[in-house]
Amino acid sequence: MELKQVFANEIVKHSNELLTLLDVKKQIEIPKYNKQGDLAFPCFVLAKHVKENPANTAKKIAIKMKHPLFEQVVANGPYLNCFLNKTVVSKNVMNTILQQGSRFGSLKIGNGENITIDFSSPNIAKPFSMGHLRSTVIGNSYANILEKCGYNPVRINHLGDWGTQFGKLIAAYYYWGDDEQIEVNPIQELLNLYVNFHKEANNDQSLETEARKWFLKLEKRDVKATKLWNWFKEESLKEFKKIYDLLDVYFDSYDGEAFYNDKMDETVNILKSKGLLTKSDGADVVRLDEHDLPPCLIKKSDGATLYATRDLTAAIYRYNKYQFAKSIYVVGHEQSLHFQQVFLVLKKLGLNWAGNMQHLPFGFILKDGKKMSTRKGKVVLLEKVLEEAVMLAAEKIKDRNPNLENQSEIAKDVGIGAVIFHDLKTDRQHNVEFSLEEMLRFEGATGPYIQYTHARACSILRKSEKVMAGNIIGLEEENSWSVIKQLYNFPFNIQHCLDQGKPSILASYLLDLCREFNKYYANQQILTEDEQQEQRIALVHCTAVVIKEGLRLLGIKAPEQM
């Protein structure tokens, strides 16, 4: 249990439960000075309940506070100051990590239940841009965290492989396409065609009409249109899989939008049979007036289905196939209204699992403060970014450690890890400013800083002849204490990530752990031969275990040398 939670439990118990556990926990502080203890609780609100001086309330509760993890709890004016038992806490956490290894922090709360998680979902026939990085790495990390907590994540890549844009692309192909160029560099040439179509369509509206005709042919399975569409998809998936391999991301399903084409009529019929469809300007909609939301469009006046129809169909299909306990969509915040509407329509259908749908929104990746746009050609290709990041990482590693073995493999781990961490350290709901220079710094809040700290810990362990196997008696050195507290709270941070759907919580935790470990390393001779040497080496080992596992959950490798 998290240290704050232990302290909060005792306060609630010894104050006649006048405050809830949540209220108490929110008020617990970390004292600024070590002499004030490890945790502190202000008694002002509690004293108000019993109508007495807060200092008196603090004195009364302090006398009662006894726990194996507490050295002592003292009243300091209106505050309860808790001094944790360093030996007991350090012995507890280090022996647990030594015994469990990478299993440390695992939570058995999922009971093997399926959770579908829909993420990445790029559009075929377009390059995999930096704009798709966020969904990919947030979704991948959250799937890892779900697994760590005992769930079975079903990773779904709902490809954007249908829609009017394919009519535009086919029209552009027939107007300006060059087979030889397309065969050499398919994705870039298709992007050029797509951008050129929009440029020309600004001056020639007939192009839009032509595009609609081609998409109608595609919907009717016209041989030429279907052949081109299949070719676009195959080439796109080849390119996408190169990037997924670099990022070490995999999926259990690549069923995209087109997969649901023959399943949507059934969804529309179910909505009709439940009396949920009404007409609005010739379109079929489900009204959501009672929620103060605009109607959910199901069919256009020309009979064409929409994203909502497809997502409703996909949700029903996924539940029937996977019997999920929860279904999660890692999609940008601009789609928040869409998912609100889809989830409410599922509830209106009376589906007992409809309350288990969750949208995890995220902000944009910005370049020079502006959103990237494929339509205007203002796009940064993710593959190029990853290649450049690996190249820059190789240069930095060569400068720092020219004799290092396996430099190319380590540069790949560091460069790609830097890109992933730069994204994940930011709260998913905030925007991220793209900056390769910022990503690859070895100091500060970066992926290379955390990887370097892990490599430093591994270097110490290589120099030591001690083999850690448990039965550690506990550390008593003052400067090790901040590292111990960080290690103790690793499982809590996993739980917090799960509850909030935010890998950024884990990224922040790893930065804090590394800062405290590096302070410890700077101030303590770890390999000095004395009675505490084995405990210090155990602390280094435990830190390396937790950093490596934390990075794995973020989707980042942990090199042992850098």
Asked whether residue 61 carries a pLDDT value surpassing 70, the answer given is yes
* Cross-strand partners of 338: none
pLDDT, average across residues 370-374: 64
pLDDT, average across residues 406-417: 96
- Tokens representing 284 are 């079929």
Q: Annotate 420-456 with DSSP letters as a single string.
A: HHHHHTS-TTS-EE--HHHHT-SSSSSHHHHHHHHHH
pLDDT single digits (tens) 4-29: 889 999 999 998 888 999 899 889 99
Q: Which of 447, 414, 463 is nearest to 514 (CA)?
A: 447
What's the pLDDT score for residue 1?
A: 63
- Cα separation, 41 vs 39, in Å, equals 7
The percentage of the chain sitting over the pLDDT mark of 90, rounded to a whole number, equals: 72
CB-CB contact of 214 with 171 (8 Å): yes
What's the pLDDT score for residue 373?
A: 56
What's the pLDDT score for residue 371?
A: 74
CB-CB contact of 45 with 23 (8 Å): yes
What's the pLDDT score for residue 378?
A: 59
Provide the pLDDT confidence category of residue 377 given band limits of 50, 70 and 90. low
What's the pLDDT score for residue 290?
A: 95
* Cross-strand partners of 550: none
Unique residue bearing structure tokens 């060059």: 178
Question: Which has the minimum average pLDDT: 169-178, 325-334, 431-440?
Answer: 431-440
- Cα separation, 463 vs 474, in Å, equals 22
Distant-in-sequence, close-in-space partners of 57: CB < 8 Å, separation ≥ 6: 15, 43, 46, 47, 50, 78
What structural domains does the chain harbor?
3-84 (3.30.1360.70), 163-245 (no CATH), 382-554 (1.10.730.10)
Phi and psi based region of residue 269 (left: phi greater than 0; alpha: psi -120 to 50; beta: remaining): alpha
- Cα separation, 406 vs 391, in Å, equals 14
Residue 439 CB-half CA count within 13 A: 23
Question: Which has the minimum average pLDDT: 276-290, 303-317, 371-385, 536-550?
Answer: 371-385
SS3 track for 259-303:
HHCCCHHHHHHHHHHCCCEEEECCEEEECCHHHCCCCEEEECCCC
pLDDT single digits (tens) 171-228: 999 999 888 888 888 888 888 898 899 899 998 989 999 999 999 899 889 999 999 9
CB-CB contact of 239 with 187 (8 Å): yes
What's the pLDDT score for residue 345?
A: 98
Mean pLDDT estimate for the chain: 92
The percentage of the chain sitting over the pLDDT mark of 70, rounded to a whole number, equals: 98
DSSP run (H or E) holding 488: helix 481-488
Provide the pLDDT confidence category of residue 145 given band limits of 50, 70 and 90. very high
Distance of CA 477 to the CA centre of its chain: 36
Asked whether residue 79 carries a pLDDT value surpassing 70, the answer given is yes
Beta strands at 365-367 and 283-286: parallel, antiparallel or unpaired: unpaired
- Tokens representing 334 are 């601009």
Tell me, yes or no, if the pTM score tops 0.85: yes
Unique residue bearing structure tokens 């990390």: 141
- Cα separation, 324 vs 214, in Å, equals 38
CB-CB contact of 381 with 130 (8 Å): yes
- Cα separation, 20 vs 546, in Å, equals 32
Provide the pLDDT confidence category of residue 379 given band limits of 50, 70 and 90. low
Task: Tell me phi and psi for residue 205, to 5 degrees.
Answer: -65, -20
Residue type, 488: Y
Distant-in-sequence, close-in-space partners of 498: CB < 8 Å, separation ≥ 6: 107, 145, 146, 149
CB-CB contact of 7 with 485 (8 Å): no
Unique residue bearing structure tokens 């084995």: 534
Asked whether residue 372 carries a pLDDT value surpassing 80, the answer given is no
DSSP E strands, 5-50: 39-42
Provide the pLDDT confidence category of residue 104 given band limits of 50, 70 and 90. very high
- Residue 117's CB is within 10 A of a number of other CB atoms, namely 24
What's the pLDDT score for residue 381?
A: 80
